[in-house]
Amino acid sequence: MNGRALYAGLGLALLPWMCLLAASGEWNWVALDAAEAAGLVTTGLAAGALARSAALATAGLLLLDAALDTATATGPGLTQAWLMALLIELPLAVSCLLTAARANARPARPVTGRLGVRLAA
């Protein structure tokens, strides 16, 4: 499985988690996780600038999720929030940032016209 398919798969894997959150009435977290899922799927399926932008936005959402989880959790939920932040959200955010950086480092393909003349990009 390549990295792009992994991102898309992780985005889809959030669906059961969102259903669990919805069943418990945690709609604010469902919305945040839905945005994360959409970002992961877009990062996995898109190409070029869209994939780079999706990876950056998804990294921001994952960092926000980790910060909000650890700031608002109490009691036993605090341990779960820290574990999810340290083992899932933060590493995935770093992975998204690295994906965006790698995509940014690739040289742009020159744009050519019908006669093979290079056009200004």
Do the Cβ atoms of 47 and 55 come closer than 8 Å? no
Say whether pLDDT at 72 is over 90: yes
Chain mean pLDDT for the chain: 88
Q: How confident is the model at residue 86 (pLDDT cuts 50, 70, 90)?
A: very high
Tell me the whole-structure pTM to 2 decimals.
0.82
The answer on pLDDT for 54 being more than 70 is: yes
Residue 115 pLDDT grade (very low, low, confident, very high; cuts 50, 70, 90): low
Span 8-25, pLDDT tens digits: 999 999 999 999 999 999
Reported as a single tens digit per residue, the pLDDT across 98-110 is 999 987 665 556 5
**Residues 46 and 54 sit within 8 Å (Cβ to Cβ):** yes
Q: Which comes out higher in pLDDT, residue 72 or 117?
A: 72
Q: 14-42 burial, b for 16+ CB within 10 Å, e for fewer?
A: beeebeebeeeeeeebbebbbbbbbbbbb
